[in-house]
Chain A
Amino acid sequence: MEYAIEMIGITKTFPGVVANDNVTLKVAEQEVHALLGENGAGKSTLMSILFGAYNADSGTTRIHGKPVNIKDPNVATDLGIGMVHQHFKLVHNYSVTENIVLGMEPKTKLGLLNIGKAEKRVAELSKRYGLHVDPQALVEDITVSAQQRVEILKTLYRNANIIIFDEPTAVLTPQEIDELMEIIRRLRAEGKTIVLITHKLKEIKAVADRCTVLRRGKYIGTVDVETVSEQHLAEMMVGRAVQFEIEKNPPRIGEVVLSIKDLFVADHLGHMKVKDFSIEVHKGEIVGIAGIDGNGQTELLNGISGLSAVASGTIMLNGNDITHTTIRKRIELGLGHIPEDRQKHGLISDFTISENCVLKNYYKAPYSNKYGLLDEAKMIADADILIEEFDIRAGQGSQTTAGSLSGGNQQKTIVAREIHLSPHVLLVAQPTRGLDVGAIEYIRKRIIAERDKGRAILLISFELDEIMNLCDRIATISKGSIVGIFNQGEVTEREIGMMMAGSKKDGENP
């Protein structure tokens, strides 16, 4: 076999962690090779080394058979390696063209920028590979999948023949994912070698030729995708048998606890992101909201939790109108919130676990007396109980700083705190993002347990599997409004995908 990429014996350490431990990767010419592993397995690190963003501590690399030393992205680019990043590296207020040619700008004879020439080249490439973009549009104004096409064009502009895709489907609808798979097949037909970093087994089966699996920094094996099952891939990835389906009892639904009517919420730039949104959540059920990032989910949660002001509409919690009340009042009335970004909104990294656990009620008894004095001993005692109950792994117990916990334990801390407050309604956003399989299972089980206790849960997630498995009722949000709402089992993934893109069930277009 002729290899486009050979990475042999690669080791890379960061402070406190061995990201890659003697890893070997061999990618054949003109194949689509998947790199599979959980969050933290080392896939991104390995590819960052290939792309020159990091330098390996030891090991050798060969490109098209020749030994190379890729010390920075310039060298990688010269060798024909291009990377389509997971978090796009695009300057928001530059145009599509400016982003594509940044660092390799065509110049006039006097050395000035020649944007006209650049735009022509971008149009040429766009046509040749079927990647439709508007060369003059500002990146911040185009859709996410268009931004991804710009990332791809960046690599093609630099004559890449090896293209690395880092978790490309996290931000796409099922239809856009299909389009991307087509693009990848077309690139392969044009002679490119593709490396696909992912943890999504379905996509590997759809488009990859072979797959290498990494686990906790170590190389596990390489398999032929056609002959291997998703189950086997999952076991290689996690190291044990994995349970795909979640067991749960049928819901015992009570009265309406959270009622949202005709809600309009704008984002911080003033654009209305939630439009005419209405939904009701009952005691004892999990209602899920499926949708692609950017369709108003963030603003919806901001409006309900109080982080953003509501433009119009009402929010009722157990008969109380909380549309314009303070955040603290909503919490006191029984609104719980497990936020999307645990480090930005959920926890204070510099505070200990015990301090984080009382963030929402430190000012009330039993943690504060009527003169405003804190009872630290009580805070610590209660935190110890929570650590025990939720199995939070923390080096110094309740005095561990939240910042030093792993992602899974941080999430458990937040979940523990919210549950301890016994809310009537629990808002849950992306609860399992960035967690390893063990933590994911635990959090999901916990959510179902709380639902069985009678809480009303509103779940927002970009992982369609999660929504379809966990929720009793599923609503789809597109462009700020609900496009359809169904009971679990009454709707297929394909139909949800179409609703996410805006069309109603049965193929109507809005």
Chain B
Amino acid sequence: MNTLFNMIPSVLMIVSPILITAVGGMICEKSGVVNIALEGLMGVGACAAASAHVLMEGAGLGTPSIWISLAIGASIGAIFSLIHAVAAINLNADQTISGTGINLLADGATIFVAQILFNADRTREFRMGMQTDALGIYPTAYIALTVVLLAWFILYKLPFGMHLRACGEHPHAADSVGINVKRIRYIAVLTSGLLAGLAGGCIVLTQTIQYTSNTINGRGFIALAAVSFGRWRPVGVTFAAFLFGTAQAFAIIANNFPALRVLPSEVFNMLPYIITLIALVAFSGKNYAPRANGKPYIKGAS
């Protein structure tokens, strides 16, 4: 039992970025825009944060460098998501294609930047990442908690949240009472980009020492699955993120159980993806998606 208790900080470390991204994805989809570019947005955030941090570290900036890097990662994520926002909201593009394009673009752009800055296929290794607190828990866990609570509050307690949710269910109804659907969707998409970038920064600063093309490795899609599995509600999404994150953490945790060390590590690597798949099948929650999800809003056509 003690070992299980000791696993909590590792689980939190892995769950936090997934949860942050998932909350962003939830907000975006609740406003009616599908965003499968979360993977790529996490990537650009991670790359930006890693690059910023190693450069600032080299310049001797010390601890504030971590927080500045996170902010930079979040900002770059938001800026990149602008492409998806313009494509999906102003130009009525197919949101799945646009999202896929951004993932491909992010793949290329991140390593491209690394090549330009560091002459390698990855960012330079930094020496010191984020530090844990006395309990061994990274600050990212508290960031994640704040993000979830803030999202819940805004979505369900403030008029803005009520407007946002209406945009995702029945944008024509929202428009007819004077709500600016396009503006709200822009905010939602940029928020999801900001949170995904932030999450990417969290991953790179807590779990590794540099950004490579394998850093994100599908976690953006796992976050997307968590949104669907969590039925687009804060409580459900949190639970889903924990479930999937724990499956991921298992690969590390398995080392503590001699019986499991017999299996090749790849079995544990596969686990989060298989569990996600099974969860999606067992609990196909299609009926719970916001009704106007993924459909471009065209004025007047009803």
Contact = CB atoms under 8 A, between A and B. Distances in A.
Bound pair (A, B): yes
Interface in A153-206: 154
B177 A92 contact: no
Nearest to B292: A91
B176 interface: yes
B18 interface: no
Interface string B145-179: 00000000000011100110110011011111111
A103 B300 contact: no
Main secondary structure of the interface of B (DSSP, over half): helix
Contacts of A74: 178
B94 to A, nearest CB: 15
A107 B157 CA distance: 10
Contact of A89 (B176, B291, B299): B176
A113 B166 CA distance: 15
B299 A102 contact: no
Nearest to B291: A92
Contacts of A87: 302
A73 B157 contact: no
A104 B176 CA distance: 12
A73 B176 CA distance: 6
A83 B172 CA distance: 13
Given A48-B300, A53-B299, A90-B170, A111 B158 contact: yes
A91 B176 contact: no
Interface in B9-53: none
A338 B302 CA distance: 23
B167 to A, nearest CB: 10
A73 B300 contact: no
B287 to A, nearest CB: 8
A6 interface: no
A85 B170 CA distance: 14
Given A73-B177, A83-B176, A92-B291, A113 B300 contact: no
Contacts of B165: 91
A98 B162 contact: yes
A112 B299 contact: no
Contact count band on A: 20 to 34
A102 B157 contact: no
A434 B216 CA distance: 52
Contact count band on B: 20 to 34
B26 to A, nearest CB: 16
B173 A90 contact: yes
A107 B163 CA distance: 14
Interface string B170-206: 1011111111000000000000000000000000000
B157 A112 contact: yes
Given A48-B300, A87-B302, A90-B170, A103 B177 contact: yes
B291 A113 contact: no
Interface string A62-95: 0000000000111001000001010101111110
A54 interface: yes
A54 B298 CA distance: 12
Contacts of A53: 175-176, 299-300
A199 to B, nearest CB: 18
Contacts of B291: 92
Nearest to A76: B178
Nearest to A268: B287
Contacts of B163: 102-103
A119 interface: no
A103 B179 contact: yes
Contacts of B179: 102-103
Q: Which 3 A-B pairs have the closest CB atoms?
A: A103-B177, A89-B173, A74-B178
Interface of A: 48, 53-54, 72-74, 77, 83, 85, 87, 89-94, 98-99, 102-105, 107, 111-113, 154, 269
